[in-house]
Amino acid sequence: MKPTIILDLGGVILPLNTEATYQKFLNYTNINIKAWLRFGQPHPIIQQFELGKITEKEFFEELKYVLRFEKECYYLKESWNAMLMPIPQENINFIKELSKEYQLILLSNTCETHIQWFEEMLLSYHHINGLESLFNKTYYSCRIGLRKPDQKLFQKVIKDNHLDLHTTVYFDDTLAHIEAARKLNIKSQLYTQNQLLEKELRKYLFQQEQILIKS
């Protein structure tokens, strides 16, 4: 069986620009939403949406009420999606290369609105219909009712894919998620570069190979 790499999506494969969303919202409300998007622990409304417990319509209607927003929900949706940037071609190429030697698993806290938007960008920029074609398995929190850092999610991934934790590594940009995975003995690496996926992941994989050689 191939060794396994588990990858986060936003901030790892897909660059994020949360400042773009902040600035968009400032056009429509005086309420500071920066605290809403805390990595690992966003606002409860966002968590409910990312768990698939509320619909897109319910999410934006609730957001409209809380922000005292007077325009159509379309503008909220546009602002919400502004943080998502196109996946760089080099990341697509690198993932395809990795798939020759590794089992690849995508593990993302996300919502249906963001899935629809980044899939449209994926088709437009790369002519690819969904990330499922690049990974052996994809896990979107809103579709499975579990989100990081819940250890039940990591346990599900381990069980579903019969993972050998000696040959599994996990890459994420949120410390709380890394810490949760490490408690289950998943070798994990915090990623902070946003657009240097190949360089950072190759460096980490090389370090792991050296550890195995010496052990």
Query: d(Cα 63, Cα 68) in Å, to the nearest integer?
Result: 8
Structure tokens at 156: 């599900």
Q: What is the CATH number of the domain that holds 129?
A: 3.40.50.1000
Which residue carries 């002519």 as its tokens? 127
Strand ranges in the chain using DSSP code E only, listed in sequence order: 4-7, 103-108, 137-140, 168-172, 187-190
**Residue 173 sits in the same domain as residue 197:** yes
CATH number for the domain spanning 27: value is 1.10.150
- DSSP per-residue string spanning 93-105: HHHHHHTTTSEEE
101 shares a domain with 34: no
Give the range of the structural domain holding residue 105, as residue numbers without chain letter: 4-15+87-214
Beta strands in 154-210 (DSSP E): 168-172, 187-190
Whether 99 and 182 share a structural domain? yes
| Chain Cα centroid distance, residue 112 | 13
Per-residue pLDDT of the chain (215 residues; tens, 9 = 90+): 789 999 999 999 999 998 898 888 888 877 777 777 665 567 888 999 999 999 999 999 888 888 877 777 888 899 999 999 999 999 999 999 999 999 999 999 999 999 999 999 999 999 999 999 999 999 999 999 999 999 999 999 999 999 999 999 999 999 999 999 999 999 999 988 665 788 888 888 877 764 444 43
* Residue in 29, 38, 40, 35 with CA at minimum distance from that of residue 64: 29
Whether 54 and 75 map to the same domain: the answer is: yes
Domain boundary among 26, 47, 81: 81
**The two three-digit tokens of residue 39, written as one number:** 């990595």
Number of domains in the chain: 2
Q: What is the pLDDT of residue 26?
A: 83
> In terms of domains, do 91 and 76 share one?
no
Amino acid 109: pLDDT = 96
Q: Please list, in sequence order, all residues whose beta carbon lies within 8 angstroms of the beta carbon of residue 71, skipping any fewer than 6 positions away.
A: 28
Helix, strand, coil percent values for the chain (each to nearest 5): 50, 15, 35
